Amino acid sequence: MLTSHRPAARALLRSLAPLHKATASLRARLPLPPALTVTRQVHMVEPGRKVSPLLSIPVQHDSEDEQQCQDARARGLFLARQERWGDLIQHLQEADTARAATGVGLPIADLMAFGARSDVVNGVEQALDHCPTPDDAPLLAGIMALEEARANMGCQPFMSALVASAHVDIGWAWRSDAAQNLASRTFEARAQAHFKRAWTLMEPLERSAADSPFLQEAVCAAMSTQGVAAVKLADAYAQLIELDPLNYRNMRALGVAMSPSRYGGGEALELEARRVASQTQNIWGAGGYTWTYFDALTSEDAACQSLDVPLFLEGLRDIVENRPSQETVNLLIAFCAIGINLRETATPEVTAVRAKIAEASNWLTRDHLQEIHPFHWAHAATGFANNAKVPSPRRFAARGRDDAHRFLEKCFHEELAQGCQVQFTEAGLEVQPS
């Protein structure tokens, strides 16, 4: 744990100090949180809704790509728990330099870093679920330990990025809806303190991040919390995408950063989506445009108003043409079938745009689907929210599986009503008359 004789530690402690006056009376009425535990994710089949016996499709709980993700996160978590920071940083640097990635392009370095900070971030999220206690120990102990490790390593850049990413994650946890319902001003002040600290760590590394996707991603994530000019933030993301064009999550993050609610309209989002499409055309075709709009469309009506629908749909086709993995196919179908339709109130124009996108789920399913990947469907039902609460991964996956089955029964309702057997295999869709 950081000690008070370090000037940087004292400054950080002041910025994150407990705001007792704002929350003391509230906390006094709330129970103490239970002991924080970390549970191992176990994939078991949760009983679900009854599915038509005429519909047959495999359910993939442990794909090769997901196993790669789990292994990388577990490796980062293990090294962090052993406080083998030097080994962790070496692994991060090697993976970043080699551009090591999973089958769908997710960087191994990012996944290891996520695992390494997960205990700290999860501890804060669980503490916030039960409301902070008066001494705030669960809220500060973990991040201060990371700060201490960073100081002991001489403020090594990759360690600074790891700590900054933890601050960003914790900041978003403080800003979550559950937290705001308790004491919005207090929780927003805490969020801003963490965001400010993240940018303090990453701002000096802007130039040195030019050749490192890992560092540049941390720069972009921290910068996006600071209200900087759209042009500056967009240029930072353009540099990141240039470094790692296979990682579609960077394009999705850019779209969220350029969302109309942040910059007063859809012009910035539309401009950057077209810029990304041009920048990544040799890999994704028009898919860069689609990825950039992806998350903004689920949460903001204004994004639908600036969208070029034919170009977006062309991007969907290019994505599955260039990256036809079942991970990607499930993600896109779940987005079109569920994620795009979560907002209940909208203008007729916005509703029409979402309906055109939803129609794409039909041809995506019939032409490309082979198996169900439940987690993509479950995440779609949350609007792909990064701060979605998942107390039970097994039940979360079961909900996703049920949503997928429900959609498929609706998609093939005419065939099923006629008694046809609808079967998905590695060779594709087979519909056999009764």
CA distance 396 to 239: 35
Report yes or no on 380 lying in a domain. no
Q: Is the pLDDT confidence value at 337 over 90?
A: yes
112 touches 73 (CB < 8 A): yes
Sheet holding 421-425, edge to edge: 55-56, 421-425, 428-432
Look up residue 132 and give its DSSP letter.
Answer: -
Tell me the average pLDDT across 304-324. Answer: 95
* Total of domains in the chain: 1
CA angle (156, 94, 224) in 5-degree steps: 55
Provide the pLDDT confidence category of residue 48 given band limits of 50, 70 and 90: low
Q: Show the domain range for 243.
A: 228-320
Percent of the chain with pLDDT over 70: 84
Provide the pLDDT confidence category of residue 6 given band limits of 50, 70 and 90: low
Tell me the average pLDDT across 207-230. Answer: 93
Q: Which of 20-24, 201-205, 283-287 has the lowest mean pLDDT?
A: 20-24
| Crossing angle of helices 20-28 and 177-202, rounded to 10° | 140
Q: Is the pLDDT confidence value at 189 over 80?
A: yes
For the record, the structure tokens of 352 come out as: 């029409």
Q: Is the pLDDT confidence value at 144 over 80?
A: yes
Q: Is the pLDDT confidence value at 25 over 50?
A: no
Q: Is the pLDDT confidence value at 179 over 70?
A: no
Report yes or no on 314 lying in a domain. yes
37 — phi, psi (to 5°)? -130, 155
Report yes or no on 424 lying in a domain. no
pLDDT, position 391: 63
Report yes or no on 410 lying in a domain. no
Report yes or no on 14 lying in a domain. no
Digit-coded pLDDT (tens) for 65-122: 888 999 999 999 999 999 999 999 999 999 999 999 998 889 999 999 999 999 999 9
Distances (CA, A) of 254 to 182, 198, 257, 262: 30, 18, 5, 12
Digit-coded pLDDT (tens) for 145-171: 999 999 999 999 999 999 999 999 999
For the record, the structure tokens of 68 come out as: 């790669």
For the record, the structure tokens of 317 come out as: 């086709």
Report yes or no on 74 lying in a domain. no
Report yes or no on 57 lying in a domain. no
Q: Is the pLDDT confidence value at 40 over 50?
A: no
- Bigger pLDDT: 210 or 85? 85
pLDDT, position 128: 82
- Bigger pLDDT: 38 or 413? 413
Look up residue 412 and give its DSSP letter.
Answer: T
Q: Which of 1-15, 40-54, 99-113, 278-292 has the lowest mean pLDDT?
A: 1-15
- What is the C-alpha radius of gyration for the chain, rounded to an integer number of angstroms? 23
CA distance 394 to 398: 6
Mean pLDDT of the chain: 85
CA distance 254 to 256: 5
Tell me the average pLDDT across 1-23. Answer: 45
pLDDT, position 181: 57
Tell me the average pLDDT across 318-332. Answer: 94
Which residues are CB-neighbours of 78 under 8 A, at least 6 positions away? 115
Digit-coded pLDDT (tens) for 362-399: 999 999 999 999 999 999 988 887 666 666 788 888 99
pLDDT, position 132: 60
Q: Is the pLDDT confidence value at 177 over 70?
A: no
Q: What is the pTM of this model?
A: 0.86
Digit-coded pLDDT (tens) for 342-353: 777 778 899 999
Which residues are CB-neighbours of 94 under 8 A, at least 6 positions away? 100
Report yes or no on 160 lying in a domain. no
pLDDT, position 7: 52
